[in-house]
Amino acid sequence: MSVPPVDEARLSSEIEELARISDTPYPSVTRVLFTETDLRARAWLTARMEAAGLVVRQDAVGNIFARWEGTDPSLPAVATGSHIDAIPDAGRFDGVVGVLGGLEAIRALQEAGVRPARSIELIMFTAEEPTRFAFGCLGSRVLAGVVTPERLARLRDADGLTLDEARAAAGVGGDVQGARLAPGDYAAFVELHIEQGPLLEAAALPIGVVTAIAAPATLRVELSGPGGHAGAVLMHDRHDPLVAAADVIRAVDRAARGSGGEDTVGTVGLLTLEPAAVNSIPRHVRLDIDIRDTDEARRDRVLDEVRAAARAAAESQGAGHSDEILNRDGPSLSDPAVIAAVEEASAEAGLPAMRMVSRAYHDCVFMARICPTAMVFIPCHEGISHRPDEYSTPGQIADGVRVLAGALHRLAA
Ligand code: GLV
Ligand code: MN
Ligand code: MN
């Protein structure tokens, strides 16, 4: 027995319970790093982990680790997990399925009487979503040691608070750099997640095995001008940064569509302007631009094209301009042995699987820097994600958990 029975009803009711710890009404979920709501969700989760007999610790960036001790604690553990933070007005499954599903996988193995040699650790990663500090995968970046102290010190939220100030307010102490893990600390990492795309549903397949994750990047462009009265400043006297921003938005769309590759995507997801009054010409405009591709070089060409277009747009308006690459990450590749463990578990569970690429990013991108990884995807309705109507059925989620449990069992045996 490698694939144990899973308590679908218990898991579903926990997902529904966690969905209600949110700053927006059900089924919308909003849980932003270290808000009062996020802290309540973390406490709720910790209690569940402890109820399963797991030993829980939190590191200096707020990652939560729950350990089920193996029969040989000296061996590197096998890890699973994901995130429970949620972007504004999101759904209840993104990330949560990997955390509560990971917990259910451990409980299923425990209840089936399994005693793995390696310990199994469930990780809830801090701030996979970039909402608060415009920096996704904060917790897993820190674990992988890929973020410098200078970069962390520059993080600011919308109120100008630093990460250290936000940590202090949340009661999370300690040296963030000390949270870094070493290669070899974990034997393997497997993340369960909803697909966030339509392919599994279209193929009527219950399981996706992720072989690679597309390379994400975030570019911030800031444009400025003198502003002024919307009635009094005549058109020939204007240097309107929002008009330049319109050209930038067009350029993102054009560059991504024209990259020559089906996998290039570009999005302006955040546009802020000041002073934001109907009778005032904007003085300052900020665009946060998300650009991704499975082909890193092509992604970088699009990034360069957008930067050049932003410079030209600012020039043609006589507007001020600056830009900053907030993150530019490479793609990540899954490990053949971890892929094999997932595929064997799928076969044993009688669940057909297909290999696929993840176009969304995940903490797995950074865990792959320190240990062998793979991901298990399950279908979600019409591929919808980052929306309140994101949905996977309890049965689809339970299938993913069975495969995860089987893979963990194999990797930890
Ligand atoms: C993660 O949420 C992503 O934006 O891919
Ligand atoms: Mn997400
Ligand atoms: Mn996610």
**Residue nearest (by alpha carbon) to ligand 1 atom 5:** 360
Is residue 90 classed as helix, strand or coil in its secondary structure?
strand
In the chain, the percentage of residues whose pLDDT exceeds 70 is: 100
The Cα 15–Cα 47 span in angstroms is 14
The Cα 28–Cα 166 span in angstroms is 24
CB 56 within 8 A of CB 64: yes
Q: What integer pLDDT is reported at residue 303 of this predicted model?
A: 98
- Distance from Cα 362 to the centre of ligand 3, integer Å: 6
Tell me the per-residue pLDDT of 141-157, one tens digit each, with 9 for 90 and over: 999 999 999 999 999 99
Tell me the per-residue pLDDT of 362-394, one tens digit each, with 9 for 90 and over: 999 999 999 999 999 999 999 999 999 999 999
Tell me the per-residue pLDDT of 341-361, one tens digit each, with 9 for 90 and over: 999 999 999 999 999 999 999
Q: What integer pLDDT is reported at residue 1 of this predicted model?
A: 60
- Distance from Cα 136 to the centre of ligand 3, integer Å: 10
Query: What are residue 332's DSSP bridge partners?
Result: 213
The Cα 251–Cα 102 span in angstroms is 41
- HSE-CB at 183 with a 13 A cutoff on CA atoms is 5
- Distance from Cα 100 to the centre of ligand 3, integer Å: 13
The Cα 60–Cα 155 span in angstroms is 16
- Distance from Cα 87 to the centre of ligand 2, integer Å: 7
Substitution candidate for ligand 1 out of 83, 357, 362, 387 with most atoms within 8 A of CB? 362
- For residue 26, pLDDT over 70 is answered with yes
Substitution candidate for ligand 1 out of 129, 140, 366 with most atoms within 8 A of CB? 129
Q: What integer pLDDT is reported at residue 139 of this predicted model?
A: 98
Q: What integer pLDDT is reported at residue 305 of this predicted model?
A: 98
The Cα 369–Cα 367 span in angstroms is 5
- For residue 93, pLDDT over 70 is answered with yes
Report the chain's mean pLDDT, rounded to a whole number.
98
Q: Closest Cα partner for 259 from 295, 206, 286, 285?
A: 295
Could you give the angle at which helices 8-19 and 394-412 cross, rounded to 10 degrees? 110
Q: What integer pLDDT is reported at residue 128 of this predicted model?
A: 98
Is residue 194 classed as helix, strand or coil in its secondary structure?
strand
Q: What number does the ligand 1 atom closest to the CA of 129 have?
A: 2
- ∠ CA 100-101-107, nearest 5°, is 90
In the chain, the percentage of residues whose pLDDT exceeds 90 is: 99
Rounded average pLDDT over 24-29: 98
CB 186 within 8 A of CB 143: no
Q: Using omega within 30 degrees of 0 as the cis cutoff, is the peptide bond preceding 241 cis? A: no
What pTM does this model have? 0.96
**Burial class for 74, CB neighbours closer than 10 Å (0-12, 13-18, 19+):** exposed
Q: What integer pLDDT is reported at residue 28 of this predicted model?
A: 98
Q: Closest Cα partner for 289 from 241, 245, 243?
A: 245
- For residue 60, pLDDT over 70 is answered with yes
Amino acid at 399: D
The Cα 255–Cα 32 span in angstroms is 31
State the pLDDT confidence band at 96, using cuts at 50, 70 and 90.
very high
Q: Tell me the C-alpha to C-alpha distance, in Å, between residue 322 and each of 152, 236, 325, 373.
A: 20, 24, 11, 37
**Residue nearest (by alpha carbon) to ligand 1 atom 2:** 129
Gyration radius (Cα) of the chain, Å: 22
Rounded average pLDDT over 154-162: 97
CB 132 within 8 A of CB 138: no
Q: Give the number of the ligand closest to the Cα of residue 359.
A: 1
Q: What integer pLDDT is reported at residue 2 of this predicted model?
A: 75
Tell me the per-residue pLDDT of 240-294, one tens digit each, with 9 for 90 and over: 999 999 999 999 999 999 999 999 999 999 999 999 999 999 999 999 999 999 9
Q: What integer pLDDT is reported at residue 127 of this predicted model?
A: 98
Pocket of ligand 1 (CB under 6 A): 129, 360-361
- Distance from Cα 386 to the centre of ligand 2, integer Å: 6
CB 391 within 8 A of CB 91: yes
- For residue 70, pLDDT over 80 is answered with yes
